[in-house]
Structure 1
């Protein structure tokens, strides 16, 4: 796909990794639909990108997703790509003991992550695919998974969701190929974001030392991977690990 003048929607796009991907694609000439729950941050992000529009949307709510993608199509006339990036963390052990009392991960904590990180990906992917099929001009869907999809301590909900995202990615590649739509995923490792900036230096260094390359990834390195997927017309049904070698 030639990115120039293509309409690409990015969820969780107001800051961090989502904004970095949107920014790089915009620099390559794409028209960007920035989707985020935080409309103030989204509006600020729009100001930094040419030919971008912002949309407030909770990706876990079906009616909001349907309305948002309908509005994107009305505003831009078509949709060529989607990056499913929106996600949340609510880490915790499934069970743990405290003073001999067994504590359990609350269902609400499980469900919140599944709703956004898995159901949200499904809903946005479904609406984007429907638009692309109606247009008849193909398209690309990129889902952001994680190296945690293999299972990670304290992340039952997040790991399960990201494993599901990876499975959906492959499924969509098989189902949508007949319409000229490609589906691929990116599985980042530890990446420097606003969240990791808040980590104590000791904890930050401890995590970095676990990575064979000796440092966390940068958001621009993940963004370049997204651009590569868009531009390589023979890449589909694969999850690309970008993790500094931490998962082998």
Structure 2
């Protein structure tokens, strides 16, 4: 798929990996639609690049089907054809007001699991399914019959069985990739997953300093990933039609054991 001239939905696009992805693909000639709770951050991007290149859709709760549909309707009205979605939104853990049930709130409660899963898993499917509803009715983008692509962001925490409730929610995202690639194949739609290790994002930089040191890989390079490195990977996945139904680890060889 060509990136230039096409329009992509980016959830979580107002900051972190999503923002870096927008900067990358817009720099390659694409248009982007920001879907994020962070309305201010989305507006700043739109003002920086111009609304003809980056559309801010207001504050959107991706767990709310109606809000997602409204944002996508704005995207279609503004840009017309949608080529795909890069689904980057997520939360690391439960909000402080939802305690665990064990000593010092250390164990995961049902309420915590539901909060994280609603955002990290069900909302990923919600956005993907709503975008595909649009793409499947469009004309193919090239002679091979490709209509679009969905890129889902999992995590090594999901692949390595780590960090409840975050890890299980990301494992569920990884579990969506191949089934949906098969389901949507008749419409010329690809589905791919990227499973990052620890990257420099608001999610990691807001952690206590002593915990941040635990995130550094013990192989090479011994540092956190940079958002631009994630964005470069997204660009590769968008352009390479053979990337379909698979999950790419982007982790500097780290394997989580806790």
TM-score where L is the length of structure 1: 0.91
* Counterparts in 2 of 1:159 and 1:204: CA distance versus 1, 3 Å: closer
1:3 alignment partner in structure 2: 3
- The structure 2 residue matched to 1:140, chosen from 129, 149, 166, is 149
Q: Secondary structure at the match of 1:163?
A: helix
- The structure 1 residue matched to 2:186, chosen from 164, 178, 188, is 178
Q: C-alpha distance in 2, partners of 1:126/1:171? A: 13
Give the length in aligned residue pairs: 244
1:52 alignment partner in structure 2: 54
Q: Is the 8 A contact 1:151 1:160 kept in 2?
A: no
Q: Is the 8 A contact 1:136 1:179 kept in 2?
A: no
- The structure 2 residue matched to 1:76, chosen from 75, 79, 88, is 79
1:236 alignment partner in structure 2: 244
Shift of residue 197 of structure 1?
A: 2.7
2:173 alignment partner in structure 1: 165
2:206 alignment partner in structure 1: 198
Q: Is the 8 A contact 2:121 2:169 kept in 1?
A: yes
Q: C-alpha distance in 2, partners of 1:212/1:22? A: 27
Q: C-alpha distance in 1, partners of 2:188/2:71? A: 23
- The structure 2 residue matched to 1:115, chosen from 118, 132, 140, is 118
2:30 alignment partner in structure 1: 30
Q: C-alpha distance in 1, partners of 2:103/2:201? A: 32
* Counterparts in 2 of 1:192 and 1:160: CA distance versus 1, 3 Å: same
Q: Where does the alignment leave 5 or more consecutive residues of structure 2 unmatched? A: 141-146
* Counterparts in 2 of 1:112 and 1:202: CA distance versus 1, 3 Å: closer
Shift of residue 193 of structure 1?
A: 1.5
Q: Answer yes or no: is 1:97 the counterpart of 2:103.
A: yes
Q: Is the 8 A contact 1:21 1:220 kept in 2?
A: yes
Q: Where does the alignment leave 5 or more consecutive residues of structure 1 unmatched? A: none
Q: Secondary structure at the match of 2:44?
A: helix
Q: C-alpha distance in 2, partners of 1:199/1:89? A: 10
For each residue in 1:14-73, what CA deviation from the matched residue of structure 2 results, as whole angstroms up to 9, or x when unmatched? Answer: 011100001100000001101111111110122222411011311001111111112211
* Counterparts in 2 of 1:161 and 1:209: CA distance versus 1, 3 Å: closer
Q: Answer yes or no: is 1:130 the counterpart of 2:133.
A: yes
2:143 alignment partner in structure 1: none
* Counterparts in 2 of 1:135 and 1:196: CA distance versus 1, 3 Å: same
Please identify, of 105-114 and 22-31, the stretch whose mean Cα deviation from structure 2 is larger: 105-114
- The structure 1 residue matched to 2:253, chosen from 232, 245, 248, is 245
Q: Answer yes or no: is 1:207 the counterpart of 2:215.
A: yes
Shift of residue 210 of structure 1?
A: 3.2
Q: C-alpha distance in 2, partners of 1:47/1:34? A: 12
Q: C-alpha distance in 2, partners of 1:213/1:35? A: 32
Q: Secondary structure at the match of 1:236?
A: coil
